[in-house]
Structure formats: structure tokens, C-alpha cells
A and B are shown apart, each in its own frame.
Chain A
Amino acid sequence: MSSRILNWFKFSSPATFYPLAGRIGVWSMVIAVVLIVVGLYMSFFVAPTDYKQGEGYRIIYVHVPAAWMSMFIYLVMAFWSVLGIIYNTRLSAMMTSALAPTGAMFAFLSLWTGAFWGKPMWGTWWVWDARLTSALILFFLYLGYIALQGAIDDTRRSDRAGALLVLVGVVNIPIIYFSVKWWNTLHQGATIKMSGEASMDPVMLWTMLIMTFGFWAYAIATAMSRVRSIILERERETTWVSELPEVRG
């Protein structure tokens, strides 16, 4: 038992994680490119037209995966924040801050594509209903985290402040997810539910899932390459960094 725990902790050292992150990053990027290319081809050419919305509905193949990822990345950041606070591992905070820009990008993408879908379908770019407002708050939480982390020079303090902000903001995630159930909203309810069948054609569903996994791999790839930069920056005084071939050469 104890040996297995030790094994996991081995990777919490930046020096061990740095080369591993490089390998994971490259492979995730390859998977991301393949899945997103296939997913986009299916979204535009394979998936059938919707009976009511016509061709305009195709924006959901970017909108829904982006919205899911924006919530999921936040939960992963909360997970790393908890680990960071409990175990005081430096790598946890580095992972949190490596994920934040990708999460913010997906949050923005979901709001932006949602507005483009809303104008023709609902007749408006934006309304202040519970779903849209809580999703906007999520975007601001990402920006707030990035700003707070950047504003404090001492990394130990900025890590701690950032982790607390992420944990306080985590209450927003169930609110976003259940907002369409708890209140009357203009936004429609969930098509893909945790229980029961999806109210969607199977080809449409597969296309959406492929796009989701593509975005997922992309998020891993960007987070890994970002965490490598953060490791190099924070550990620049150490011997192991100065001995890296890419640093020496």
C-alpha cells in the first residue's frame, strides 16, 4: 500500500514530472488534432440537418463541448487546489495555473458560439437568464484567478490565494449545470443527461462526443506545455534545470 502511494508522489516532484509532461503533451496534441479534424468533418458533412433549426444548429458541435470543458477544467483546477493545500506540493499549484488559460478560452468560446446560435434561433444574442449568467460568472472566475495569481509576486502566497479563489468559485459549477432544471430559463435543458437516453440522433451524438474528446486532448496538451514552462521558470536556479539539454544548448 505504502509503496503505491510513494509511486504517485514521485511525480509530484517537478524534476520527474517535467519529461513526463513533455511526452504526454506531444501525444495529446496528436490525438487532439486527429479527433478535432474528424469531428469537424463530421459536424459539417456527415451529421444530418436538424428538423427544426436547419443547418444553423451545427454550431452546437463547438458550443456544447466547449461549455463542458469550461466546467470540467474548473473542477480539475479545484482538485489540484485541494491537493496543493493539503499536501503542500508545488506541482499542484503549477497545474492549476497551467489549466486556467485553457479553461478561460473554452468558457469564452462557449459564450461566443452561444451568442451566435442565440441570435437566429432565439432572436437575441444574450439574455440574463440563470444559465447564461452563471456561465459568464465562470468566465470571470477564470479571469479573476489568472489576475490574482499574476498580481502576487511571492509564488507561495499567490498559489495559496489562487487555490482559495478556485475553491470558493467551485460552488458555481453545480449552479451552472442545474440552472436549467432549477429555474425557468431561456436556455434549453440538457440533451445528454447523466441518466436516461440522449434526446439526440446517434450520429449527432457521436460527432459531439468526438469533438469533446478532441477538446479534452487539446486541453491536456496545452496544460502540459504550459506547466513545463512554469516548471522551468520557477526552478531555474536548480541544478537539474541547468543540466537539461534544451537549457544548456
Chain B
Amino acid sequence: MKARHKRFGFIVVGLAGLGLAAWLTLNALDNNLSYFFSPTEVTENEGPKDHIRLGGLVEPGSLERGKELTVRFAVSDNAHKVNVEYTGILPDLFAEGQGVIAQGKMNANGVFVADEVLAKHDENYMPPEVAEALEKGHNQAVGAKN
């Protein structure tokens, strides 16, 4: 065995050990590395009790504008939904059916009072014409079913 084979072995073993250590660490941290909790986790009280971030889709048709800058909407993950109340300026991408992350806590009435709302973007990029065509196709398909 030449010295350079030995050094190669050290690197392979070292990197494997390092990878394993990193994997164990990340596994142990698990949920703590997630940026937000889903409505299911929040309704089932799996998240922390105090200040949390709630992430999901803004339920279509649930958006209500209250006095001044107060808005109410429901965040859903298609299994559960949580009602959210927020006073402040919403980001540009905020819309019904769009991903959103609200930071705040549950009040006594089971309403999630947010002090910050961030829009979550998806990975799709397309020109408006394509989006329109897609929607038209979708509506036709839905219409044909009814």
C-alpha cells in the first residue's frame, strides 16, 4: 500500500464519518429546522405553544377585509384549516390560493393572530399568456364535468 493510497483512504473514511455525523445531527434536530408548521400540526398541537409560524395555502374565498388594514383569512393544507387575523401590509404575492407563512400565536378563541405575513412563492415561472391558457383549459375541463 503506497502512501497515497493511504491518504486516499483517510479522505474517504473522513468524509464518510463527517457525512454520518452531519446526518445524525440533522436527524436529531429534525422539526426544529423547519421554518413553519402546517395547519394540521397546529390544530393537533404538535408545534410549540407560544410564538410560531404557520404555513399553508390561503383558502380561496376566505379572504375578508376588515377595518383599515385588518384582514382575515383561513390557511389550509387541504386537511385542516386555521383562521388567521392580521393587521398590516401584505406582500405583493399575497392572494387567495397562494402559499403564505404567518407568524404569531393562537388566541383564546382559536384564531391565529399574526404579526407578520410572508408570501411563499412556488417554483413555477411562466408568461401570463401561458397561465391564462392553463386556466382556460382547467375551467373547460371543470365545466365539461358539471
Q: Please, which residues of chain B bring their CB within 8 A of the CB of A144?
A: none
A204 proximal to B (CB < 8 A): yes
Q: 1/0 per position for A116-159, CB-CB distance to B under 8 A?
A: 00001111100111100000000000000000000000000000
Residues of A within 8 A of B (CB): 48-53, 56-57, 60, 82, 85-88, 120-124, 127-130, 167-168, 170-171, 175, 182-186, 188-191, 199-201, 204
Q: Are B126 and A183 in contact (CB under 8 A)?
A: no
Q: Are B125 and A199 in contact (CB under 8 A)?
A: yes
Q: Are B35 and A185 in contact (CB under 8 A)?
A: yes
Q: Are B121 and A86 in contact (CB under 8 A)?
A: no
Q: Are A85 and B130 in contact (CB under 8 A)?
A: no
Q: Please, which residues of chain B bring their CB within 8 A of the CB of A57?
A: 125
B33 proximal to A (CB < 8 A): yes
Q: Please, which residues of chain B bring their CB within 8 A of the CB of A88?
A: 4
Q: Are B126 and A50 in contact (CB under 8 A)?
A: yes
Q: Are A168 and B18 in contact (CB under 8 A)?
A: yes
Q: 1/0 per position for B9-52, CB-CB distance to A under 8 A?
A: 00100110011001000100000011111100000000000000
Q: Please, which residues of chain A bring their CB within 8 A of the CB of B116?
A: 123-124
Q: Are B130 and A188 in contact (CB under 8 A)?
A: no
A51-B128, A121-B121 known; A186 vs B92 contact (CB < 8 Å): no
Q: Are B123 and A189 in contact (CB under 8 A)?
A: yes
> 4 shortest A-B CB distances, which residue pairs?
A123-B91, A48-B127, A51-B131, A129-B35
Q: Please, which residues of chain B bring their CB within 8 A of the CB of A204?
A: 125-126
Q: Please, which residues of chain A bring their CB within 8 A of the CB of B19?
A: 171
**Can you sample 28 A-B contacts with CB below 8 Å?**
A48-B128, A48-B129, A50-B127, A51-B126, A51-B127, A51-B128, A53-B121, A53-B125, A56-B92, A85-B7, A85-B11, A86-B8, A121-B119, A123-B92, A123-B116, A123-B119, A130-B33, A130-B35, A167-B14, A171-B15, A171-B22, A183-B33, A186-B35, A188-B122, A188-B123, A190-B123, A199-B123, A199-B124
CA distance A204 to B123 in the complex (A): 13
Q: Are A184 and B122 in contact (CB under 8 A)?
A: no
**In whole Å, how far is A39's beta carbon from the nearest beta carbon of chain B?**
16
Q: Please, which residues of chain A bring their CB within 8 A of the CB of B122?
A: 188-189
How big is the B interface, by class? 35 or more
Q: Are B35 and A122 in contact (CB under 8 A)?
A: no
Give the contacting residue for A171; candidates B11, B18, B101, B120; CB below 8 A: B18
A121-B119, A122-B120, A188-B121 known; A127 vs B35 contact (CB < 8 Å): yes
Q: Are A167 and B91 in contact (CB under 8 A)?
A: no
Q: Please, which residues of chain A bring their CB within 8 A of the CB of B94?
A: 123
A171-B18, A184-B36 known; A87 vs B4 contact (CB < 8 Å): yes
A186-B120, A191-B124, A204-B125 known; A51 vs B130 contact (CB < 8 Å): yes
Chain B residue nearest to A124 in the complex (CB):
B118
Q: 1/0 per position for B104-137, CB-CB distance to A under 8 A?
A: 0000000000001111111111111111100000
Q: Please, which residues of chain B bring their CB within 8 A of the CB of A124?
A: 116, 118
**In whole Å, how far is B12's beta carbon from the nearest beta carbon of chain A?**
10
CA distance A82 to B123 in the complex (A): 35
Q: Please, which residues of chain A bring their CB within 8 A of the CB of B34?
A: 130, 183-185
Give the contacting residue for A170; candidates B4, B15, B119, B124; CB below 8 A: B15
**In whole Å, how far is A123's beta carbon from the nearest beta carbon of chain B?**
3
Q: Are B123 and A122 in contact (CB under 8 A)?
A: no
